[in-house]
Amino acid sequence: MFELQPTLTGELLALRPLRLEDYPALYMAASDPLIWEQHPNSDRYKEEVFKDYFDGALKCGGALVIMDAATDEIIGSSRYFGLDEKASEIEIGWTFLTTNYWGGTFNRELKKLMLEHAYKYVDNVLFFVGPNNKRSRKAVEKLGATYIDTRSRFGGESVVYRLSKDEYAALAR
């Protein structure tokens, strides 16, 4: 049984299940328009829009807050979604980090923690990215994920990348 809301700890980051009381700190982290500039929902920095994102995160059952391991400050969020046991795959997505944590090191550790957890249960991880979100597309490509197709969902188009457990293991060597 896939544990959708684990507590994961690395050298730089700590991840734990999202809780209702995280709203003020997570909204503060998300309130910078630059974070959402390339995102299909580019107005997510607005509180009324972010509230829907947050409510969806709570409802999905797989949302995690991302904290700076040194300070316990909430610096973003990510989630597991769409577990398909038959296809042995799950999505990692809805990820954002505050701009102070951009630049690769933190996102790399975040994805490493989440991927290693996911590969205990499934063989493939999918990433759905807005077609114009060049930063996110580049980040998942750096992980070794391969573009597989474009899909419509939630009222918009997403490009879809896949990273298999075997591909990830080969890249880690």
DSSP secondary structure code for residue 82 in this structure = E
Residue 153: the pLDDT is: 84
pTM for the structure as a whole: 0.95
Residue 91: the pLDDT is: 97
Residue 103: the pLDDT is: 80
- CA angle, residues 43, 140, 164, in degrees to nearest 5: 130
Residue 160: the pLDDT is: 97
Residue 172: the pLDDT is: 80
Residue 21: the pLDDT is: 98
**Structural domains for the chain:** 8-172 (3.40.630.30)
Residues (pLDDT < 70) of the chain are none
Residue 155 CB-density burial (10 A; 0-12 exposed, 13-18 middle, 19+ buried): exposed
Residue 171 CB-density burial (10 A; 0-12 exposed, 13-18 middle, 19+ buried): exposed
Decide: helix, strand or coil at residue 38: coil
